[in-house]
Amino acid sequence: MAAAGGRLLLLRHSRCSFSQAESAVPPQAAGALYPPIVASATAQSKAARRRRLELFYQRVHEATSIEEKLRLYGKLQRPKYMVYPQTFALNADRWYRSFTKTVFLPGLPPRAAPAAAKAPGAAAPEAARSAEGAAGAAPEAATALAAGAEAATAAKAPQAAAAAAPYLDVGELRSVACDALLQESFYQNKKRPFLYRDQEHTPGPFLTQLVSTLAALLSRRNPLLAASSLDLKPEVNYYWHHGEEVVVHGHRKGRVDPVRFQIDDKPHLQIRVPKQLSEIVPLESDLGDVPVIDHKPSKLPLFKKQYENKVFIGSKVADPCCYGHTQFHLIPDKLKRERFVKAHLEDQIEVLYRANGIASLFAWTAAQAMYQGFWNEADVTRPFVSQAVVTDGKYFAFFCYQLNTLALTVETVKNNPRKNICWGTDSKPLYDVVEDGSVKGFNDEVLLQLVHFLLNRPKEI
């Protein structure tokens, strides 16, 4: 008993001395002597999953080239929804706006007319208005002011004509469009097209000839077109995440995964340019609401498939023409207007055009942004603007798209007020009918809108 009591007393004394010695040690410096405790990168916990995601983000951020960043971004292959820009689905445009966080605004954005598009006598109305304003004060002063304005206008007319470049002749443009249409519809002796190949028979060659001829004709007025690249039936791809879902089948059943989407587009024509188009509105503009659809994309319907995740604008990263100008999409024969009318779905005709414009332009502009080094964890610092024309050979619809954000994942979309914006028009006919070697009911408004699209250029040019 005495020995046991002695050991207990010694133990208490040692504990007391140890606590005194420990309190006497000065606190450690601010710099940690050991690495931080982090979750395992191979465990099955939520913390481990977050760490694996952070390591992946770090590798993408530290990629030394755009090609390496794109390779890492699309490295992990899982089943993903295939988004078809040209689709038979009802009200597909609302779903596509939800997937891409896009606000749709009817009509086209107002743009300042380029200086070269103004007529030589554009200063005369301003002078006349000044003269009219002075007429109320004194008749003699008004007469003198009017004479001075006429003299100033006459003196400036040669300078304005020289600065205006070749004047835009609507008659010449109409002649070019009618010649291209008659060449494919009347002068050539073509055989009957195969089933569902009517668009490849006449509208496709007509659109190719019309765009290439107008681009060559207008390159004198728009230097950007002279340095552009015209692609025939290129491939455009974009892969992104938006939303979350629970894996239903397979060995990964029960896990929470991001909802993956892929657009594989093939426009009939597209124009790429070496300089980016000017922004339409500021980056943080809020011009409307984005539809919120809580249903699974399979209800649209969309279907899943596992294959290569690809981001592609129609050319390689090293191509100097790395910005988009205008795309031209040809509606397939299976989705022509007559089929919608026959099925009593007239209200879905414009939905088809809108869905095509939204999905195609989002994929193209987003891929352009990724070619510049941006992605969902490094959002864009400037808007990306592109245009699109959707047509079946007769009816034309025009769209402008401004990409303001790539941050569409669950983690990044929460604190992201930016929204992508799309402007679009309803489809209008370019002509009524081709009869007896002449085009009847030609619509100059549609042709001029197409010309204005081709004349669009950055402000500094």
Distance CA 383, CA 418 (A): 11
Choice among 9-23, 74-88, 446-460 with the minimum mean pLDDT: 9-23
For the chain, counts of helices (H) and of strands (E): 14, 14
In the predicted model, what is the mean pLDDT of residues 105-123? 58
What tens digit of pLDDT does each residue of 231-257 get?
999 999 999 999 999 999 889 899 899
pLDDT score of 140 more than 50: no
| Contacts (Cβ under 8 Å, ≥6 apart) of 229 | 271, 272, 273, 315, 319, 321
- pLDDT of 458: 92
In the predicted model, what is the mean pLDDT of residues 173-191? 85
Q: Which SS3 state, helix, strand or coil, does residue 321 take? A: coil
- pLDDT of 154: 37
Residues written for the chain:
461
pLDDT > 70: what percent of the chain?
Answer: 81
Mean pLDDT of the chain: 83
What does pTM read for this prediction?
0.81
Choice among 105-109, 191-195, 249-253, 333-337 with the minimum mean pLDDT: 191-195
Strand partners, 386: 401
Question: What's the first-to-final CA gap in the chain, in angstroms?
Answer: 102
pLDDT score of 131 more than 70: no
Q: Which SS3 state, helix, strand or coil, does residue 440 take? A: strand
Binned at pLDDT 50, 70 and 90, residue 30 comes out as: low
- pLDDT of 1: 41
Query: Tokens at residue 395, please?
Result: 């009816």
Q: Quote the strand ranges of 247-394, DSSP E.
A: 256-265, 269-273, 303-305, 323-330, 384-391
Cβ pair 119, 167 in contact under 8 A: yes
Residue whose C-alpha is closest to residue 180's, from 212, 206, 211 = 206
Binned at pLDDT 50, 70 and 90, residue 29 comes out as: low
Residue whose C-alpha is closest to residue 272's, from 310, 233, 311, 314 = 314
In the predicted model, what is the mean pLDDT of residues 216-241? 94
Distance CA 459, CA 403 (A): 18
| Contacts (Cβ under 8 Å, ≥6 apart) of 84 | 359
Strand partners, 156: none
Cβ pair 53, 370 in contact under 8 A: no
Asked if the peptide bond before residue 301 counts as cis, ω within 30 degrees of 0, the response is yes
